[in-house]
Copies of this chain bind each other. A is one copy, B any other.
Amino acid sequence: MTSEIKQLQQQLAKFAADRNWEQFHSPKNLAMALSGEVGELTEIFQWLTPEQSELLPEAKKAHLEKEMADVMMYLLRLADKCDIDLMAACQNKLIKNEQKYPVDKCFGSAKKYNEL
Protein backbone atom coordinates (compact mmCIF):
# COMPACT_ATOMS: atom_id res chain seq x y z
CA MET A 1 0.00 0.00 0.00
CA THR A 2 1.18 3.52 -0.60
CA SER A 3 2.85 5.12 2.35
CA GLU A 4 0.50 8.11 2.10
CA ILE A 5 -2.56 5.91 2.35
CA LYS A 6 -1.04 3.89 5.16
CA GLN A 7 -0.19 7.11 6.94
CA LEU A 8 -3.74 8.43 6.58
CA GLN A 9 -5.11 5.14 7.88
CA GLN A 10 -2.90 5.51 10.93
CA GLN A 11 -4.02 9.10 11.47
CA LEU A 12 -7.64 7.96 11.32
CA ALA A 13 -7.01 5.07 13.71
CA LYS A 14 -5.38 7.47 16.15
CA PHE A 15 -8.24 9.97 15.78
CA ALA A 16 -10.70 7.22 16.74
CA ALA A 17 -8.54 5.80 19.53
CA ASP A 18 -7.99 9.24 21.08
CA ARG A 19 -11.76 9.65 21.34
CA ASN A 20 -12.44 6.10 22.52
CA TRP A 21 -14.45 5.52 19.37
CA GLU A 22 -13.00 2.11 18.58
CA GLN A 23 -16.06 0.65 20.31
CA PHE A 24 -18.29 2.13 17.56
CA HIS A 25 -16.05 1.22 14.63
CA SER A 26 -17.05 -2.33 13.87
CA PRO A 27 -16.88 -3.06 10.14
CA LYS A 28 -20.68 -3.25 10.10
CA ASN A 29 -21.01 0.23 11.59
CA LEU A 30 -18.30 1.65 9.34
CA ALA A 31 -20.14 0.25 6.31
CA MET A 32 -23.26 2.12 7.47
CA ALA A 33 -21.31 5.32 8.04
CA LEU A 34 -19.76 5.00 4.58
CA SER A 35 -23.20 4.53 3.09
CA GLY A 36 -24.57 7.57 4.95
CA GLU A 37 -21.77 9.75 3.61
CA VAL A 38 -22.35 8.54 0.07
CA GLY A 39 -25.98 9.58 0.56
CA GLU A 40 -24.79 13.12 1.32
CA LEU A 41 -22.56 13.09 -1.73
CA THR A 42 -25.48 11.88 -3.87
CA GLU A 43 -27.64 14.79 -2.71
CA ILE A 44 -25.19 17.25 -4.24
CA PHE A 45 -25.91 15.85 -7.69
CA GLN A 46 -29.53 14.77 -7.48
CA TRP A 47 -31.21 17.72 -9.24
CA LEU A 48 -28.33 18.59 -11.55
CA THR A 49 -28.26 17.62 -15.19
CA PRO A 50 -25.25 15.54 -16.22
CA GLU A 51 -23.96 18.67 -17.97
CA GLN A 52 -24.32 20.80 -14.83
CA SER A 53 -22.48 18.13 -12.86
CA GLU A 54 -19.48 18.67 -15.14
CA LEU A 55 -19.27 22.34 -14.20
CA LEU A 56 -19.86 22.61 -10.47
CA PRO A 57 -19.88 26.12 -9.03
CA GLU A 58 -17.16 26.73 -6.45
CA ALA A 59 -19.41 26.28 -3.39
CA LYS A 60 -20.73 22.93 -4.59
CA LYS A 61 -17.24 21.77 -5.45
CA ALA A 62 -16.07 22.65 -1.93
CA HIS A 63 -19.06 20.73 -0.54
CA LEU A 64 -18.24 17.78 -2.77
CA GLU A 65 -14.63 17.76 -1.57
CA LYS A 66 -15.80 17.42 2.03
CA GLU A 67 -18.22 14.62 1.27
CA MET A 68 -15.64 12.76 -0.81
CA ALA A 69 -13.18 13.08 2.05
CA ASP A 70 -15.75 11.59 4.44
CA VAL A 71 -16.36 8.70 2.06
CA MET A 72 -12.64 8.10 1.62
CA MET A 73 -11.95 8.22 5.35
CA TYR A 74 -14.63 5.69 6.25
CA LEU A 75 -13.46 3.49 3.38
CA LEU A 76 -9.92 3.59 4.77
CA ARG A 77 -11.13 2.93 8.33
CA LEU A 78 -12.98 -0.10 7.01
CA ALA A 79 -9.92 -1.29 5.09
CA ASP A 80 -7.81 -0.86 8.22
CA LYS A 81 -10.25 -2.73 10.46
CA CYS A 82 -10.65 -5.60 7.96
CA ASP A 83 -6.94 -5.71 7.17
CA ILE A 84 -7.51 -5.09 3.48
CA ASP A 85 -4.89 -3.51 1.24
CA LEU A 86 -7.13 -1.20 -0.73
CA MET A 87 -4.64 -0.28 -3.45
CA ALA A 88 -3.82 -3.94 -4.10
CA ALA A 89 -7.54 -4.74 -4.14
CA CYS A 90 -7.99 -2.08 -6.84
CA GLN A 91 -5.22 -3.50 -8.99
CA ASN A 92 -6.72 -6.99 -8.66
CA LYS A 93 -10.17 -5.74 -9.55
CA LEU A 94 -8.84 -3.79 -12.50
CA ILE A 95 -7.34 -6.99 -13.95
CA LYS A 96 -10.70 -8.73 -13.49
CA ASN A 97 -12.49 -5.83 -15.15
CA GLU A 98 -10.18 -6.02 -18.13
CA GLN A 99 -11.24 -9.64 -18.58
CA LYS A 100 -14.93 -8.92 -18.04
CA TYR A 101 -14.93 -5.93 -20.34
CA PRO A 102 -12.72 -6.64 -23.38
CA VAL A 103 -12.44 -3.50 -25.48
CA ASP A 104 -13.88 -5.00 -28.65
CA LYS A 105 -17.01 -6.28 -26.90
CA CYS A 106 -17.91 -3.26 -24.81
CA PHE A 107 -16.65 -0.31 -26.84
CA GLY A 108 -19.13 2.55 -26.37
CA SER A 109 -21.60 0.31 -24.53
CA ALA A 110 -22.85 0.78 -20.97
CA LYS A 111 -24.09 -2.81 -20.75
CA LYS A 112 -23.10 -4.99 -17.82
CA TYR A 113 -20.63 -7.73 -18.60
CA ASN A 114 -23.30 -10.41 -18.29
CA GLU A 115 -25.45 -8.62 -20.89
CA LEU A 116 -22.69 -8.18 -23.46
Can you tell how many copies of this chain the complex includes? 4
The reply to whether A82 and B94 form a contact with Cβ atoms under 8 Å apart is no
Main secondary structure of the interface of A (DSSP, over half): helix
The reply to whether A26 and B54 form a contact with Cβ atoms under 8 Å apart is yes
The reply to whether B50 and A28 form a contact with Cβ atoms under 8 Å apart is yes
Give A59-78 interface residues, CB cut-off 8 Å to B.
61, 64-66, 68-73, 75, 78
Contact with B along A72-95 (1 / 0, CB 8 A): 110100110110101101111110
17 contacts between A and B (CB under 8 A): A5-B87, A8-B90, A15-B97, A18-B103, A20-B107, A27-B45, A28-B45, A31-B32, A32-B35, A34-B41, A35-B35, A35-B41, A36-B46, A68-B84, A68-B86, A69-B92, A73-B93
